[in-house]
Amino acid sequence: MLVRMKWIIINRMVKTKFKYVIIVGFVILYIFGVHIHLLEKDFYNEFNYPLQGDIVRYAEQVKNNKKLDHEPINTYNYKFISNNKTKCASSGNDSKLRLVYIIKSAMKNFDRRIGIRQSWGYESRFSDVPIRTVFLLGIGTDNIVQEKIEKENEKFGDIVQASFIDDYYNNTIKTMMGFKWAVEFCPNSKFYFFSDDDMYVSTKNILRFVRNPVNYPAYLQLPIASVNEEIVTNLNNIRNREVKSLPLQFNSRRLSQVLDFELPDDVVLYSGYVFVSSPHRHFTSKWYISLEEYPYHMWPPYVSAGAYILSKEALVNLYFGSMFTKHFRFDDIYLGIVAKKMNIEPFHCNEFYFYKKDYNIYNYKYTIASHGYGDPVELLRVWNEQRSANNA
């Protein structure tokens, strides 16, 4: 009898523990959003992010001041507190800029901005290459910080500040206000480089990259005859659609211009480190996305927001396309969505590092950008070493 009772008790304990295991398992699956993944739509067959319709045509109509078939749904109509509208003004040989740095910075990051001005953001880095640098800021509630920013702008003349709250989840607004500033006040540059304020960047490697993005950095490592032969092969592959990772816009460009290591003015280039990934559905993630926000199982290909480069044509097309694309709170995802709707294919380059690349003086030779340089002292040390090594 005693043995039987003991067996019954053990059996009940096992069943109770099993129930707890099942309950805990369901809770874990719920927290990690497994049930949400089961309800996702197929991105490849069902993608249709608002606004529906031919937004390429709508964007062209706005850009060319023509009669609109559809009113914009998204204008990011915040006021510029400081626009430095003469920053890119024409003056002699500078009428056509080569590169504009547009750097997303937090209001309080004064030291980071100083470090960038003294390193890769230095506008006179190359005497024959017109470059401009501005920092994008929102607003806050600390009047002392705001007064310091105003004095900073009086001294350096490189702050672009708009009337949105400077917060992580407003990064899309910050980015699109940067686009708006570039289109309205700085439309005379061939390329625009967007960056966070905790990046190492090599201006020299950017300029190398934009001369021949298809073959960077390989074209720098081979004899010129071999480079030209490889370029011809790559271009033929592009035309035959055998290289699917390259922007389709390169198909229509003249071969001679690429062989001369110079992209035409109307090239559409949107480049950096390209991700193809899925939305985070677990509730504990800072990047959690509900099905109401985005119902599909994959993101469009997008470029990491830490650092990326745009040709003028790409910048303008994305800016006007954003007017017909519903707002999304993560800026890199949002630009990926707009690019998808505007038929712009992001171009991947391994030399944009969304993480902090291990450093020594030799392995940054072709690095364009690396995350993780929030310490301006470290940034200046690394940048000065790379400049001495002729890599920055």
pLDDT band (50, 70, 90) for residue 20: low
Angle (CA) 28 294 282, round 5°? 15
CA–CA separation, 156 and 109 (whole Å): 15
Least confident of 23-27, 79-83, 115-119: 23-27
pLDDT at 6: 59
Count the neighbouring beta carbons within 10 Å of the beta carbon of residue 80: 16
Q: Residue 300's closest CA among 334, 271, 351?
A: 334
Does pLDDT of 246 surpass 60? no
Q: What is the pLDDT of residues 357-380, one digit of tens each?
A: 999 999 999 999 999 999 999 999
In the block, which residue shows the tokens 């430095």? 84
| pLDDT given at position 3 | 58
DSSP string, 70-98: S--S----PPEEE--TTTT---GGGGSEE
The mean of the pLDDT values for the chain is: 86
> Higher model confidence: residue 281 or residue 325?
325
- Antiparallel, parallel or unpaired: β 131-139 and 159-165: parallel
Q: pLDDT (tens digit, 9 = 90+) per residue, 247-264?
A: 434 433 333 333 345 788
**pTM: predicted TM-score of the whole model, two decimal places:** 0.84
Return d(Cα 295, Cα 139) in angstroms, integer: 32
Is the alpha carbon torsion for 380, 382, 383, 386 positive or negative? positive
Label residues 272-282 b or e (16+ Cβ within 10 Å = b).
bbbbeeebebb
- The pair of structure tokens assigned to 17 is 């523990």
Residue of 118 and 16 predicted with greater confidence: 118
Residue 255 has a pLDDT of: 34
- d(CA 247, CA 46) in angstroms, rounded, equals 23
- Give 267 or 243, the one with higher predicted confidence: 267
SS3 call for 278 = coil
Tell me the per-residue pLDDT of 127-152, one tens digit each, with 9 for 90 and over.
999 999 999 999 999 999 999 999 99
CA angle 185, 371, 210 (to 5 degrees): 55
Q: Which of 89, 79, 53, 222 is nearest to 160 (CA)?
A: 79
pLDDT for residue 182: 98
pLDDT of 162-221, one tens digit each? 999 999 999 999 999 999 999 999 999 999 999 999 999 999 999 999 999 999 999 998
pLDDT reported for residue 248:
39
Q: Are β-strands 270-275 and 347-348 bridged in parallel, bridged antiparallel, or unpaired?
A: parallel
What φ, ψ does residue 348 adopt, rounded to 5°?
-80, 140
Angle between helices 110-117 and 143-156 (to 10 degrees): 10
Alpha helices in the chain (DSSP H): 2-31, 34-37, 43-46, 55-63, 110-117, 143-156, 171-185, 203-211, 224-239, 255-259, 312-322, 331-341, 376-388
Q: Among candidates 213, 242, 370, 223, which has minimal Cα distance to 306? A: 370
User: What pLDDT was estimated at residue 243?
Assistant: 41
Say if residue 68's pLDDT is above 60.
yes
- The torsion angles phi and psi of 187, rounded to 5 degrees, stand at -85, 5
How many Å is the Cα radius of gyration of the chain? 25
| pLDDT score, position 296 | 96
